Structure 1
Amino acid sequence: MGESYLIKGGSIVDGTGRPARRADIGIVNGTMVEPAAVSKDAVLVDATGLVVSPGFIDVHTHSDATTIRSQYAGKSNTGPLALAAVMQGATLEIAGNCGYSVFPGADTEKQVDALAEFTATLFGNGIPVCDDIEEYAQRQNDSGRFNNISSLVGHSSLRAAVMGFEQREATVLEIATMERLLSSALDGGAVGWSSGLIYPPGTYAGTDELIHLGKISARHGVPYVTHLRDEMQYVEEALEEALHIARQSGTSLHVSHHKTAGKFSHGRSVQTLATMDAARREGLDVTCDVYPYVAASTHLHAMLPPWSFEGGMGALLRRLHDPAARNRMRADIAGGIPSWENTVGNGGWDRIDVATAPGRTETQGISVAALAARAGQDAVDFVADLLISTGGHVTIISHSMEEADMQRVLAHPGTMVGSDGVPKDGKPHPRWAGTFARILGRYVRDLQVLELEEAVHRMTALPAQRFGLNERGILAPGNIADVTIFDPHTVSDQATFVDSLLPPTGIEHVFIAGRRALQHGVLTGTSAGTFVARSR
């Protein structure tokens, strides 16, 4: 149970979007109470000149295994990767995005291996796949988390567990198995399900398979969360596919990290946002999120055509040894393939930087084009050799978006905020350490893209409502005391692409369920985070 606190003199931005007001807030045993209900011996927190807000909810992370990895390896859980979220005021993260989750488990040894191989591409080797969401929740609760976590169910994980990395349509029986696994996880408290339709094996799925699963989420009253099949040249067609899935299944829809990336799509956010507005007028429940940067981050192997990954990472690495396969990859990148998001073809290897490459740290922070030139190689040959030498575990940063598009999405009504953080060693994208402070500093205070109250609403109450997290997201008596207190004049992100885990300035205090995790910008060592199931 938490101590009692009285937060006095702050400017209350309560998450509802209502104007800020001067008021005091009480916390008793992890719950917000009226100030008069706090005992005289409560700890006083002077918030004069500061903004008191609900704790921020990061609607899109890939931190599924960050603390579990530490626990599983018997290591300390106090490194900067594990602490970056709470340092910027994020009291709850939603994992399981882009089709990746570390549950549910598979039935056969072959499928278990396929699922473990799939999750390793994002989360690293040695992460235990959980049989179900209950085991996942227990592992999170045992891992000494500094903030809370909820999870979606990953469609690609479902597919890998049921049919491995086969590049074909699922059978009726396989879809039924995926439906059963999804329904069970939603019964266990998952906040929705996600797809990553540029990543194998999710990219191998047809629209009808996704409609079947959408009917399950519709029945449970949770959203379908999608990384669209294309965010570049064919982004409008990919958005139409997602809306078609929502129409045919009855599910609500949430578009992940909405962007119009690549040289052929700059400016097209005007059309995509108008399309979502039209769908809302039609009666569809459609939302999206965004991160406040113009560079993306993903796997290096996602820069290669989808056929190259059929059969999984082992099959890809074998193909990369084959000169004929390399030549085919080179040709497909140069010429494109229908329905494939060709990131390099939409930009170039000079816009792709290596972020994480185990055992090849000399490549980190440098573009593929520069690295290939340094090695005297063609870029595809360099990429193939780098993937082989690292077992395929390379993440990259893609400088592919325009500021005007990002700001347009951020300013659009209903857009939420997600870091899309990929907490891996090396030089990860600075969004993992800077997203929320960057919103408050650069886009609220400096550029005035959003009013403060509206920005806080999009980072608190709106995602809590979207993902069924009752008693969170609004400062009100009776709600769980997840609270972030920041200085609106100094809050600012400090993380850069060179030093990507620098903590922000201006985040003064963070409470997790009434226990203080951050005091005057310094971690207290309190690990009060838990797995949070969707409210019934």
Structure 2
Amino acid sequence: MKPKPLKLILCLFLTLYYGFESTAQTTIQFDIVLEGGRVIDPETKLDAIRNVGIQNGRIMMISSDALVGKETIKVSGMVVAPGFIDLHVHGMTNVEQEYQLHDGVTTALELEWGIEHIGAWYASRQGNALIHYGASVCWPFERMKAMARYQDGVDELLDLVHKKEITIQSFFHIGGPSFKEDQTPEESDKTLANIKSALDEGGIGIGVPIGYLPDTKPAEMYSVFELAGELGALVFTHTRHSGILSIQEVIANAMLTGAPLHIVHINSMSLGQIDFALKMVSAAGWKGFDITTELYPYTAASTGLMTAMFNEGWQEKLGIDYGDLQLVATGERLTQETFARNRRTNQYVIMHMMQPEWIARGIAAPGVIIGSDGMPYSKLAHPRTAGTFSRVLGKYVREDQVLDLNTAIEKMTLLPAKRLEGIAPMMRFKGRIQVGADADIIVFDPDTIIDKATFEKGLEFSEGIEYVLVNGTFVLRKGETVSNVFPGKAVYGKFKK
């Protein structure tokens, strides 16, 4: 059955809230009124000049009539849209979140890799997040945790969570040796039990970055998909290698087990075969399989030099060479000598490996979600960390006209919200400008919005986003971060106990 708009679901509540007299609307005083903006809701297809009344963290009125607010913000000439939902971030502190909110993001989730000790991590973020946060269960960590010889590393990672210092880099350093080891049948069973327990702590599905553990036996990987199929737990996967065969592997696993599947950054997984890869994802959907994908709007990827991505033969697999690698720490292009030196310390690099036309075709493809793959903070970090969503609206909508504004907004709001509704029910109230929806709202100038971060100069706040509200609280006003407000809430998976 097609889901009904939120305003129908909540009409009884609203009737009781506002009273039965039709004249009551004129006397309501909202907390905030956004007046005279171009309101775009991707689900109901509303695209019109409206006034939006916000009360107690929710959208309570959308009207062409005048509304009364304790605070009224005049936003004529600007677009009022749902806050962007990013399914794929790796920088999860307020440092990265400030860049994200300047890019219009109101919900940022670490779903590809997941988070170690997920219950403790959720607790560490409570009450001090600028925007909404959440994560999947980290399969590599639950795998390592099942191997008794790595218990000291498990404890060390928990200590880092408590100190709010946990990063992907720290896990690579501590847990990396476990990536290359086969599991016994008992350890494989223990891994699955660990995943279940982590889902009970609130994990949003299962993060399966097998590209960093490419020697994992197919049978072991298949067992994770079997568990996901049994539970209805969404799998977020980086494929085993770049290329069509690895994409076919995860699609086959999902089809055979019934596991819901989301393939991350299909642009860097398929490279020049992106059309074929998208054709397979689309065909799976048409045949009734719950399989989706995403991409980011840049022609470069980013990862650590010590990862399996750079095992012998990487030049041939990725179609690049040393000079296509840019060191994040300094911005320099690498040589064979500097590659070897920096690999010993797992320095992060930007990998210039894609063509602009591949990205444009992927962005235009129906149903493809936009995700940033935003990295932990570094001044010269990949610009997608700060500019992904503004880049789509500025370059691909306004300048290149690859897709229209409404479709772009849908790919960054409604589509990711709907992708998560089955595993994180609270997402039903996000990604929409409707009565009853969470007041996660952005206001931007469609004529000026653009990303400002670059590969050469590093991170910079995007331009053109004037206001951002999270749960009805301003975190951005007139393009400036609001100090000392932390309205971000945890997004949990459906299994949380």
Shift of 1:424: 2.7
Counterpart contact for 1:186–1:220, Cα < 8 Å:
no
Q: Distance in 2 between matches of 1:215 and 1:5?
A: 47
1:152 aligns with 2:136: yes
Partner of 2:338: 382
Counterpart selection for 1:161 from 132, 136, 145:
145
Please give the per-residue CA displacement for 1:320-344, whole angstroms capped at 9, x wherever unaligned.
xxxxxxxxxxxx3xxx3xxxx5578
Please give the per-residue CA displacement for 1:43-75, whole angstroms capped at 9, x wherever unaligned.
1011101111111001110024x24xxxxxxxx
Q: Distance in 1 between matches of 2:309 and 2:318?
A: 10
Bigger mean CA deviation after superposition, 274-283 or 406-415:
274-283
Q: Distance in 1 between matches of 2:382 and 2:451?
A: 13
Partner of 1:269: 274
Counterpart selection for 1:139 from 101, 104, 124:
124
Counterpart selection for 1:55 from 63, 77, 83:
83
3-state secondary structure, aligned to 1:183 = helix
Q: Distance in 1 between matches of 2:481 and 2:309?
A: 41
What's the Cα RMSD here? 2.3
Partner of 1:458: 411
Letter in 2 for 1:195: V
Alignment map for 1:1-80 (pairs within 5 Å): 4-16=31-43, 18-34=45-61, 40-64=68-92, 66-67=93-94, 79=95
1:90 aligns with 2:105: yes
Partner of 1:195: 208
Could you state the TM-score of these two structures normalised by the residue count of structure 1? 0.76
Partner of 2:21: none
Alignment map for 1:177-192 (pairs within 5 Å): 177-192=190-205
Shift of 1:135: 1.6
Counterpart contact for 1:303–1:342, Cα < 8 Å:
no
Partner of 2:368: 415
Letter in 2 for 1:278: A
Letter in 2 for 1:502: E
1:292 aligns with 2:297: yes
Shift of 1:290: 0.6
1:532 aligns with 2:485: no
Counterpart selection for 1:472 from 416, 425, 430:
430
Q: Distance in 2 between matches of 1:193 and 1:396?
A: 26
Shift of 1:393: 4.1
Counterpart contact for 1:6–1:25, Cα < 8 Å:
yes
Query: How has the CA–CA distance of structure 1 residues 17 and 488 changed in structure 2, closer, same or farther, with 3 Å as cutoff?
Result: farther
Partner of 2:3: none
Please give the per-residue CA displacement for 1:142-167, whole angstroms capped at 9, x wherever unaligned.
4x211111111122222222235343
Partner of 2:397: 444
Please give the per-residue CA displacement for 1:158-212, whole angstroms capped at 9, x wherever unaligned.
222223534343222222212112122223322211222221xx22322222222
Please give the per-residue CA displacement for 1:341-391, whole angstroms capped at 9, x wherever unaligned.
5578621000001003xxxxxxx111112xxxxxxxxx1x43333344xxx
1:399 aligns with 2:352: yes
Partner of 2:324: 351
Could you state the TM-score of these two structures normalised by the residue count of structure 2? 0.81
Counterpart contact for 1:91–1:148, Cα < 8 Å:
yes
Counterpart contact for 2:266–2:277, Cα < 8 Å:
no
Partner of 1:228: 239
Query: How has the CA–CA distance of structure 1 residues 304 and 473 changed in structure 2, closer, same or farther, with 3 Å as cutoff?
Result: closer
Partner of 2:246: 238
Counterpart contact for 1:17–1:453, Cα < 8 Å:
no
Q: Which has the higher strand share?
A: 2
Q: Distance in 1 between matches of 2:49 and 2:494?
A: 31
Counterpart contact for 1:6–1:35, Cα < 8 Å:
no
Partner of 2:451: 493
Counterpart selection for 1:521 from 479, 484, 488:
479
Q: Distance in 2 between matches of 1:410 and 1:520?
A: 29
Shift of 1:19: 4.9
3-state secondary structure, aligned to 2:488 = coil
Query: How has the CA–CA distance of structure 1 residues 268 and 393 changed in structure 2, closer, same or farther, with 3 Å as cutoff?
Result: closer
Letter in 2 for 1:33: M
Partner of 1:327: none
Counterpart contact for 2:214–2:308, Cα < 8 Å:
no
3-state secondary structure, aligned to 1:20 = strand
3-state secondary structure, aligned to 1:516 = strand
Please give the per-residue CA displacement for 1:297-328, whole angstroms capped at 9, x wherever unaligned.
1111136755xxxxxxxxxxxxxxxxxxxxxx
Counterpart contact for 2:51–2:66, Cα < 8 Å:
no
Counterpart contact for 1:207–1:245, Cα < 8 Å:
no
Query: How has the CA–CA distance of structure 1 residues 510 and 405 changed in structure 2, closer, same or farther, with 3 Å as cutoff?
Result: same
Q: Distance in 2 between matches of 1:189 and 1:475?
A: 26
Q: Distance in 1 between matches of 2:183 and 2:391?
A: 42
Query: How has the CA–CA distance of structure 1 residues 43 and 524 changed in structure 2, closer, same or farther, with 3 Å as cutoff?
Result: same
Counterpart contact for 1:289–1:416, Cα < 8 Å:
yes
3-state secondary structure, aligned to 1:476 = coil
Partner of 2:156: none
3-state secondary structure, aligned to 1:92 = strand
Partner of 1:512: 470
Q: Distance in 1 between matches of 2:315 and 2:139?
A: 22
